[in-house]
Amino acid sequence: MAETLAYGRKRRPVRAVSSFVDRHFKWLLVAPAVFLVLALSVFPLVFSAWVNFVEFDFSVSSSHPWVGFANFTDNFADPDWRHSIWITAILACSVVAVEFVIGLLLALAMLREFPGRRILMVIIVIPLFISPVVTGGFWDLFLRQPIGPANEIASWFLPGTVTTNFTDDGYWPYLSVIMADAWQWTPFMFVILLAGLSSISSELYEAAEIDGAKPRQSFFFVTLPLLAPIMLVAITFRFVDATKLFDIIYTLTRGGPGTETYTTSYYLYYQGFERFHIGQSTAGSWMFLIALSFIAYWLIRRLLKPVEA
């Protein structure tokens, strides 16, 4: 009797565990992934929501007293934050516009077969596979006085000797950032738009031609309307990505001269990881995220409209 009891006591928990595993097997299989998501995404999100409303600043205090909306108002009070929002908007719109126009022209040029087309396409697409940090570093070396060859090359084509400081003088810092970003991301536009152009049936162009349409009319009344959804996809993806512009700024201008090329991402990095004003930086990140969500929502709605129609 005693042996049976002892046996029963030993076996019962094992059986219970086995039964539990059988009943919840599917949940146990996904549990590690769920745990990872909770640990790496949900916890930081909840933690950052708390940080928004407490003093979390290395140089102010080791404790974290409740400060209400002070972290948010600190951002609004900072002229660098307001400036960074403008710079982000201007740079994002500029780079997307430049990349779109050049990408479309390249796609149109590459639509038809010609000798060397494939090699040329590979060359055009290469910058897409380079790290943005390397791109920024490359452009820094290219443009920097006196070691970069940019002034020398410009002097070949322009009268006199060009001695421009491309990351300091006038509007050049912005133009330098736009050039570097366009160099890297135009291929993205090019690839998507080329795919879109290739999917337009040649019969439509033939029909337009029979109807007497000139090439310009074919472009505006056949190509553009059919390419519009693809264009919107490309522009949406690039715009959302361009608003996060950071790497090229970090390596090319470091936000300078002064704070002239501070994008919001760079400003938040500076506040959070260089100065450890973590509360202010987190609040800024949340505001930026919410603003971007509205823009993304609007763009995606526009994107889905043609599909619904």
Partner 1 sequence: MIHYLSYSVPYEKEDGDVKHDWRMAVGEHGPGVLEDLYARKEFLLKASKLAAAGAIAGPLLANVERAFAAVEVASTGGDPVATAAVNAAKQYSGITLTTIRETGPQAADDKLFGGPLWEKLTGIKVNTVEGSDAEILQKQIAAHIAHTGDFDVNEALGAWIPDFADRGVIVPTDDYLTKYKGSASLKDIHPVYRSFATYKGKTWGFSDDGDAWALYYRKDIFGDPKLRKAYKAKFKRDLRPPTNWDEMTETSQFITDQLAPKVYGQGMGRALGNPGNYFYFFQTFRSLGGRFFDPKTMKAQINNATGLKAMEYILAELKASPPGSAKFDFLTMWTTWLQGKTAMIYTWPPTGRISENYAQRDKAFSFLPKSKIVGKVGYAPIPTGHGWVNGVVRCVSADSKNIDAAYLFCQWNTSPSVSLQRVMLPYSLRDPYRLSHYKSKKYGSLWPGASKYLKALCQAANDGVIELVMSGAPDYGTSLDRAMTAMYAGKDVQSTLDATAKEWDVITKKLGVDKQRASYLNYLKLTGSTSSNTAAAKGIGFKC
Q: Please state whether 255 falls in left (phi above 0), alpha (psi between -120 and 50) or beta.
A: left
Among 174, 221, 246, 276, binds partner 1 (CB under 8 A): 276
**Residue 146 engages partner 1 in binding (rule: CB under 8 A):** yes
DSSP state for residue 3 in the 8-state scheme:
H
CA atoms within 13 A of residue 16's CA, in its CB half-sphere? 6
Sign of the torsion angle spanned by Cα atoms 294, 100, 232, 244: negative
What is the spatial distance between Cα 309 and Cα 200, in angstroms, rounded to a whole number?
A: 19
Residue 208: which residues within 8 A CB-CB, separation 6 or more?
217, 218, 221, 222
Instruction: Indicate the residue among 146 and 160 with the shorter CB distance to partner 1.
Output: 146
Q: Which residue has the tokens 């290469």?
A: 126
Of residues 159 through 218, those in contact with partner 1 by CB under 8 A are 163, 165, 167-170
Minimum Å gap between C-beta 205 and partner 1 is 51
* In the complex, minimum distance from the CB of residue 254 to partner 1, in angstroms, rounded to a whole number: 5
> Among candidates 304, 264, 109, 102, which has minimal Cα distance to 183?
102
Q: Does 62 bind partner 1 (CB under 8 A)?
A: yes
Residue with smaller CB distance to partner 1, 57 or 247? 57
Rounded to 5 degrees, what are φ and ψ at 54?
-125, 165
Under the criterion CB under 8 A, does residue 152 sit at the interface with partner 1?
Answer: no
Among 60, 130, 134, 304, binds partner 1 (CB under 8 A): 60
Which DSSP symbol is given to 54? B
Decide whether 78 or 209 has the Cβ nearer to partner 1: 78
Site string for partner 1, 78-97 (x = CB under 8 A): xx------------------
Decide if residue 63 touches partner 1 (CB under 8 A).
no
Q: Does 64 bind partner 1 (CB under 8 A)?
A: no
Q: x/- string (CB under 8 A) for partner 1, residues 115-144? A: -----------------------------x
Which of 130, 131, 132, 140 has its CA nearest to residue 173? 140
Q: Is residue 43 a contact residue for partner 1 (CB under 8 A)?
A: no
Binding flag, residue 257, partner 1 (CB under 8 A): yes
Say if CB 306 and CB 229 are below 8 A apart. yes
Residues that bind partner 1 (CB under 8 A): 57-60, 62, 74, 77-79, 144-147, 163, 165, 167-170, 253-260, 273-276, 278
